[in-house]
Amino acid sequence: DSGVTQTPKHLITATGQRVTLRCSPRSGDLSVYWYQQSLDQGLQFLIQYYNGEERAKGNILERFSAQQFPDLHSELNLSSLELGDSALYFCASSGRERGDPEAFFGQGTRLTVV
Amino acid sequence: SQQGEEDPQALSIQEGENATMNCSYKTSINNLQWYRQNSGRGLVHLILIRSNEREKHSGRLRVTLDTSKKSSSLLITASRAADTASYFCATAPMDSSYKLIFGSGTRLLVRP
């Protein structure tokens, strides 16, 4: 158990809908990362937060947004969903600001858009 | 675009053999990490090597880093069926070490 909790584990929704994925980082970790893993794109970095502030952005679509709350949990919001958004979405956390330490991954949310 | 590219994409070996996976990356880095992913599950950190290190060992794992060639290799010795998984390298770029950039992964199958 990595200590990172993601909910829900599975999500099936229709095109055009909006969903929210939730992540509770490992206790004491200030950084949260979001990744998307699909068969054709591999593991893509979306966004990183550190102690509530956005610190790095990857290939995150404008339809996607994220935030980190004062209690350090994070949410990834996906809107106007398309079939191609179907993927595994991972949250990871680490202890320090810079990418030196290891990242601890949650088990992911499997999103299926139908 | 991916920072790291693993090679080979897939590897099938017999139990007891060694498995070698390679990773190439594009920009200067602070460190390089290797992760393992069992099918459909979260990634698990295996080992980290810093940019000023050339080799590191952890149990049956040996990692090398050649910053001049921007490449790294992961060697798993005396492989076991339980080592069957996908292995990813991840780099923390020097210009933006807030993020970890993952390669495309090597799928390792260890046949019993």
- Least confident among A4-18, A43-57, B70-84: A43-57
A57-60: list long-range contacts, CB under 8 Å, 24+ apart: A58/B99, A58/B101, A60/A34
Instruction: Tell which A residues from 3 to 32 touch B, by Cβ distance under 8 Å.
Output: 4, 31
Q: Which pLDDT belongs to residue A96?
A: 57
CB pairs under 8 A between A and B: 75
Asked if residue A20 has pLDDT above 90, the reply is yes
- Helix (H) / strand (E) element for A6: namely strand A5-7
Q: Which pLDDT belongs to residue B103?
A: 86
Minimal Cβ distance to B42: which of A42, A56, A108: A108
The pLDDT mean for chain A works out to 91
Q: Which pLDDT belongs to residue B31?
A: 87
The Cα A6–Cα A23 span in angstroms is 5
Asked if residue A39 has pLDDT above 50, the reply is yes
Q: Which pLDDT belongs to residue B94?
A: 73
Tell how many helices (H) and how many strands (E) occur in chain A: 0, 11
Q: Which pLDDT belongs to residue B80?
A: 97
Minimal Cβ distance to B97: which of A35, A98, A104: A98
- What six digits make up the tokens of B53? 């290190």
The arithmetic mean of pLDDT across residues A29-45, rounded, is: 88
Nearest chain A residue to B87, by CA: A43
pLDDT tens-digit profile of A59-106?
Answer: 899 999 999 999 999 999 999 999 999 999 999 998 755 545 788 999
Closest CA relative to residue B88, chosen from B25, B53, B43, B58: B43
The arithmetic mean of pLDDT across residues A21-30, rounded, is: 93
Q: Is the Cβ of B44 closer than 8 Å to some Cβ of chain A?
A: yes
Pairing of strands A109-113, A10-13: parallel
- The residues of chain B scoring below 50 in pLDDT are 1-2
Instruction: Tell which B residues from 77 to 106 touch A, by Cβ distance under 8 Å.
Output: 88, 90, 92, 96-105
Q: Which pLDDT belongs to residue B79?
A: 97
Please indicate whether, in this complex, the C-beta atoms of A106 and B42 are within 8 angstroms of each other.
yes
